Amino acid sequence: MPEQGAPRPRPVFLHSAAQVVTLAGPPRPRVGRELEELGVIEDGAVLIEDGLITAVGPTAEVAAMLPDDVERWDARGMVVLPGFVDAHTHLVFAGDRVQEFEWRTRGLSYAEIARRGGGIRMTVRQTRAASEEELLESARRRLRWFLRHGTTTLEAKSGYGLSRDEELKILRVIRRLREAGPVEIVPTLLAAHVVPEEYAADRSAYVRMIIEELLPEVARENLAEYHDVFCDEDAFTVEEARTLMKAARAHGLKLRVHAEQWARSGAARLAAELRAQTVDHLEKIAEEDIAALAAAGVMAVLLPGACFHLGRREYPPARKLIEAGVPVVLATDFNPGTSPTPSMPMILALACTQMQMTPAEAITAATINAAYSLDRGHCAGSLEVGKRADLVLFDVPDYRHIPYFFGMNTVRAVFARGRLIYDRANGCEGTA
Ligand code: NIG
Ligand code: FE
């Protein structure tokens, strides 16, 4: 809906696209073979009115139902996709970890660097030292990177504060970004990222602090929709995670879990037991656990960017997950330590080349399935009448070109809520 007082935008008729990839289908996450059903319309068109999609179809059909005073956008030779939904990002933090990146090229491992006081704790020190305004400014800049790569909805986690006040500071930055739009942001509390240094001698006191001091405040101020916990080696145990997840659920938060990235810790089992909404990473997941996820209806969020950036050879078993009927999602895991990329097209390329997902499966995982993983399936993730007009135009004539051209941004233009917010041709960045 247009904001109060804002002029009513003109309807937009996007026409003559080589392919409109609609992702139209059943109103639920896609599984198994459904992942390949993209609902492609050749010589396709989309009509946008008041920020919503009001028609999708062949150009000739949509042209017959145009309102007066429509703005035309010729998409000849281009592919139109729903805006990407990035279901796992650590958007808000200060600084970067480029020094550690160089150390890794010289042979130090991520775990060694973390043990020497680097890693997540390094970013925590920098983030605590930054003001809310500084964090807001750097996150805004990053949001523009996401937009330019076609992302119009993203999940954003806290997790670099690790105290009551510092986690609240990050969630308030996320709230300000949510209120500003046009990218839709879904907030997640990740206070249980690692145990902060000051609680090293008494881990349970940190878990208690989250439960007794942080969760009630987060719920009271409505600062997060999801709770996440890094349940892995050098992070939180399954028992700690279970306690945290139950407490978070009691406060009305839905559950996501960082699981089995470094070790088969039992975190995926726990996600199945508690019927979390998603379980993320899964590089080390075992076959029996895959069956448990499928039975519990937990969605798997795969993050190949983290494997790539860390130079790991093992990627999550996407094919086994798909064959078992687990709804699969792809996301960037944008963060300073393991995956500094805002690019969903790059993630699609990695999914195809490193996890043997087909281009069609990868696109479904990055749009409609990702939207369902954030409870946004009703309004985002596909080009269907009544949904938000979040869409991306690519300068290529076939959707398979999107993962095929890796390391190159083929995004030509982005519409969010019906407004053109990025147009590479004239550098327009609108409200973004
Ligand atoms: O998703 N696994 C834990 N958290 C991040 C890494 C964060 C960092 O290194 O700063 C991840 O990969
Ligand atoms: Fe992560």
Note the pLDDT of residue 429: 57
For ligand 1, the distance from its centroid to the CA atom of residue 416, given in whole angstroms, is 28
Establish whether domains 12-82+382-429 and 85-373 are of one fold. no
Reported as a single tens digit per residue, the pLDDT across 47-73 is 999 999 999 999 999 999 999 999 999
Question: Which of 96, 99, 120 best tests ligand 1's pocket when mutated (most atoms within 8 Å of CB)?
Answer: 120
Note the pLDDT of residue 117: 85
pTM: 0.96
Note the pLDDT of residue 1: 47
- The residue ranges of every structural domain in the chain are 12-82+382-429, 85-373
Whether 76 contacts 90, CB under 8 Å: no
Whether 127 contacts 93, CB under 8 Å: yes
pLDDT at 7 over 90: no
Environment class of 232 (CB within 10 Å of its CB; exposed 0-12, middle 13-18, buried 19+): buried
What percentage of the chain has pLDDT greater than the value 70?
97
For ligand 1, the distance from its centroid to the CA atom of residue 337, given in whole angstroms, is 6
Environment class of 422 (CB within 10 Å of its CB; exposed 0-12, middle 13-18, buried 19+): buried
Reported as a single tens digit per residue, the pLDDT across 359-406 is 999 999 999 999 999 999 999 999 999 999 999 999 999 999 999 999
Ligand at minimal distance from the CA of 188 is 2
What integer best gives the mean pLDDT of the chain? Answer: 96
Note the pLDDT of residue 115: 86
Ligand at minimal distance from the CA of 312 is 1
Ligand 1 nearest atom to the CA of residue 160, by list position: 10
Cα 210 to Cα 190, 215, 228, 230, 244: the distances in Å are: 10, 6, 12, 14, 8
CATH superfamily of 85-373: Metal-dependent hydrolases (3.20.20.140)
The CATH class, in words, for 12-82+382-429 is mainly beta
Peptide bond preceding 182 in cis form (omega within 30 of 0): yes
Q: List ligand 1's pocket residues with C-beta within 6 A.
A: 90, 119-120, 123, 230, 258, 261, 306, 333, 335-338
pLDDT at 431 over 60: no
